[in-house]
Amino acid sequence: MKKKNRGFLLTSAALIMALLLAGCGASSDKAFSAVETAATADFAGAARYDNLYAEAPMEEMNEETVAEEAAEAEAGAGEVKEQAQENTERKLIKNVDMSVETESFDILMNNIEAKVEMLGGYIEQSDVYNGSYTSNYRSRNASLKIRIPSEKLDGFVDEIAEQTNITNKSESVEDVTLRYVDLESHKKALRAEEESLLLMLEKAETIADIIAIQSQLTDVRYQIESMESQLRTYDNKIQYSTIWLYINEVAQYEPYEPKTPGQRISEGFMRNVHNVLDGIENFFIELIIAIPLLIVAAIVIGIGILVVVAVVKITDKRVKKKREQIEQIKREREIKKPDGE
């Protein structure tokens, strides 16, 4: 038996089997099921054969021959997949998490924005807290999600380290090569299945066959779109590394060095003295700033006191007048009483 293309023979054998089943009185649904089963086996070996639909002579094949061809096609697809995994460049997703301190918050933020733009990256998310304009002990801070081309990641991280004091840093690398290759292989198989279904749709004669093929075609195209979306997501994460950067503004910082107990006591004492002085200074600053509010509050309280005093005085007068009236009535009654009473 001549074999110009094994993939085509599998499809041809499936068509012959479908015709035989139809000749024996099988329904069109069963014939289509046989065609679809054989075509699926053919798609598993699609990566091995460059010309899936090349013309070839139609020859009769028994069930054993079809099974052998399907097994060889599946084995060939496995070999192609293994070779693809070996030859594919590693697909790595790199992430960096950094916490840094800076004495020059504004300068650092400007430098980061300029550097990210120069490297061809972008800031995906930015949260900046500017602290209190009245209290210097309430430092500013920022949280940034930065996307940098993966090949320029190390240089960017080194530059951030030179301008700041790193308090925490962690890196992670996720290898998604196998998942990426699996998606690509599955996508190619689905593309081949899509082409085969289109050919079958052109040759379909009954409405039932057309509806069944169109339904299968819709499902295949949905799967292809889903896999293309996953591949695009992987490509973005692979090409652009993610840096979570947390920035805290400090008055001064020093790189960590081992210190003696005396140095720790001295620095701790001076730090607390500095904090106390800052607290006193900030108290008076807040007090001066709050003077307008205090004046308004004093006026409101004063008006309230005056109103209360006025109400009390008016009430006292009314009570006093009422008592005088009662006393007057009592005196008048005593005068009107007879002497004997």
Query: Given this model, what pLDDT does residue 338 score?
Result: 57
Q: Give the model's pLDDT for residue 87.
A: 53
Q: Which pLDDT does position 301 carry in this prediction? A: 93
Question: What is the predicted pLDDT for the residue at 257?
Answer: 66
pLDDT for position 189:
94
Domain boundaries, the chain: 1-87, 90-256
pLDDT, residue 120, reads 94
- The DSSP bridge partners found for residue 249 are 102
Decide: 35 and 15 in contact? Cβ < 8 Å.
yes
Between the two ends of the chain, the Cα-to-Cα distance in Å is 154
* Confidence (pLDDT) at 107: 93
Give the per-residue pLDDT at 149. Answer: 95
What distance in Å separates the CA atoms of residue 238 and residue 150, rounded to the nearest whole number? 7
The pLDDT averaged over each successive group of 10 residues in the chain (341 residues) is 42 46 39 39 40 38 45 52 59 94 91 94 92 61 95 94 91 94 94 92 90 93 94 94 94 69 83 84 87 92 92 86 80 66 50
Helix, strand or coil, per DSSP, at residue 127 = strand
If we measure between CA atoms, which residue out of 198, 207, 193, 199 comes closest to residue 29?
A: 207
Is the pTM of the predicted complex or chain greater than 0.75? no
Predicted local confidence at residue 41, as pLDDT:
39
